[in-house]
Amino acid sequence: MLRLFLTLLLFSASAFADSPDAVVKKMVDDVISPIRQDGSLTRDPVKLDALVDARVFPRIDLERLSRLTVGKDYWKQATLEDREKLVGEYHTFLLHAFSDVISQYTDQTILYLPFKMKPDANEAMVRTVVMDPRDESTELDYRLEKVGGNWLIYDVDIDNMSMIRIYHSNFGDALSEGGVNRLIGMLHEKNLKVEASRK
């Protein structure tokens, strides 16, 4: 009887750890907890970049995020080498963007809304609200997909505005001027400027 109980307990813990909402909660906690323990992290962009890169990006499907951001036509036209370069530069660009947002963290709290998902679903949404005592709350909805048994984030809705759509619009001129190659160059220039300012 004890063995059966322990087996069920371990199974439940494993299932919970693999669920989309648990993935998001752990990711957020893995970033926020160190900042709560050491507030100086928000004032050190190099250390904050390292924290975000280690704790956030393993949970993101960068290839799908990049593909959806540029659009299927531009993605199809790009060579495999160019796709890899784009994913790399977009990774660095988003890393800086995420770090800059997280650097503004003080005492906000994260409210996780009730999570529902069909048992056989391969995509899910985890809805949260960032509660700020000094400002209006912000809705953050994480879109996840199941890849090889793991749940990965591929988009975030910010107050019902898709991050993919926002950046697709922002990158529109570069893409129309020179496709993925032009966007790679633009992102590379932006990344160099930000990295120089962080030294």
Task: Classify residue 50 as left (phi > 0), alpha (psi -120 to 50) or beta.
Answer: alpha
pLDDT tens for 152-166 read 999 999 999 999 999
Give yes or no for a contact between 155 and 137, defined as CB atoms under 8 angstroms apart: no
Tokens of 28: 């957020």
Q: Report DSSP state, residue 160.
A: T
Give yes or no for a contact between 140 and 128, defined as CB atoms under 8 angstroms apart: yes
What does the alpha-carbon distance between residue 80 and residue 197 come to, in Å, rounded to a whole number?
A: 31
Report the pLDDT averaged over residues 120-134: 94
Q: Domain-by-domain residue ranges, the chain?
A: 29-198
pLDDT tens for 95-123 read 999 999 999 998 899 999 999 999 889 99
User: Has this prediction a pTM greater than 0.85?
Assistant: yes
Domain 29-198 has CATH 3.50.50.60: no
pLDDT tens for 41-66 read 999 999 999 999 999 999 999 999 99
What does the alpha-carbon distance between residue 47 and residue 41 come to, in Å, rounded to a whole number?
A: 6
* Burial class of residue 131 (count of CB atoms within 10 Å of its CB; 0-12, 13-18, 19+): middle
Give yes or no for a contact between 138 and 130, defined as CB atoms under 8 angstroms apart: yes
Comparing 16 with 87, the larger pLDDT belongs to: 87
- Say whether pLDDT at 22 is over 70: yes
Tokens of 9: 């307990």
CB-facing half-sphere around the CA of 78: CA atoms within 13 A: 24
